[in-house]
Amino acid sequence: MCVAKPILIAVLAIVSIPAAHAQSLPGGFVYLRDIDPTIIQDIRYATSNNFTGHPLSGYGAGECVVKREVGLRLRAIQQELSGQNLSLKMFDCYRPVRASLDMVAWAQNGREPTAERRYNPKIAKTELFRLGYIASRSQHSTGAALDLTLVDLKADNSARYDPAKAYGDCTAPVEARAPEGSVDMGTGYDCTDARGHTAAPSITADQRAWRKRLVAAMARQGFVNYSKEWWHFSLPGAGGAAYDFPIQPRRN
């Protein structure tokens, strides 16, 4: 979700990109796939497999878009991990402002079906703003924030999410949770629960070791983790204005 840390530069740059010029990204943005195509991408807000149950506004393609400096640092991390049979897996990168406003509307719609409760089993969604899990202004919109995890390339990652299946909530054992094709970090992605806090004491030693491994790999390239979300990282100084251009398909 959104980290609730406020953006110091709150300028909103509204940019419209016609489909015919989808590659023309503003403000030093790039498609991560153009920097390193080996980094796995599962951009969840471009699908219905997320806490809102629908693709978010502005996600016209499941592509990770970032500031160039961010992409180059991710490539360096990926190169380090590849020697360990590991890979980064991106869940979210640049996020249009309109998508954050879509989250706001979702939180205020007065409905909490069972599928949504998988992500916030103990917290009413109207409380997610106050508790720092969602913000109407997100660092993601600057291109300097990321949601990601690690993939063990030697493991069987073939299980796929089935929207017709009733999965356990995001704090359940990994066998009962919706599959994410990644290592077991102790909770699923976007889990608004104390177990999702990076230093949560209630996870296993192996799960804690994976989290520390991810944090350490990201820190070596200057990324800082958000303590309430083991999956959320930002690169200080790489952001700036918040943007609202839609994510369009990348042309080959």
Q: Taking the complete model, does pTM exceed 0.85, yes or no?
A: yes
Residues known to be catalytic: 229
What whole-number percentage of the chain has pLDDT above 90?
Answer: 79
Q: Which residues touch 189 (CB under 8 Å, ≥6 apart)?
A: 44, 91, 147, 149, 170, 180, 231
Total Cβ atoms within 10 A of residue 125: 23
Phi first, then psi, for residue 147 (nearest 5°) are: -120, 125
Annotated binding site for Zn(2+): 140, 147, 232
- Res 239: pLDDT: 82
Q: What letter does residue 247 receive in the DSSP assignment?
A: B
In the chain, the domains with their CATH numbers are 12-243 (3.30.1380.10)
| Mean pLDDT, rounded, for 189-218 | 97
What does the pLDDT read at residue 212? 98
pLDDT at 200: 98
Lookup: tokens for 209:
């070791």
Q: What is the pLDDT of residues 76-109, one digit of tens each?
A: 999 999 999 999 999 999 999 999 999 999 999 9
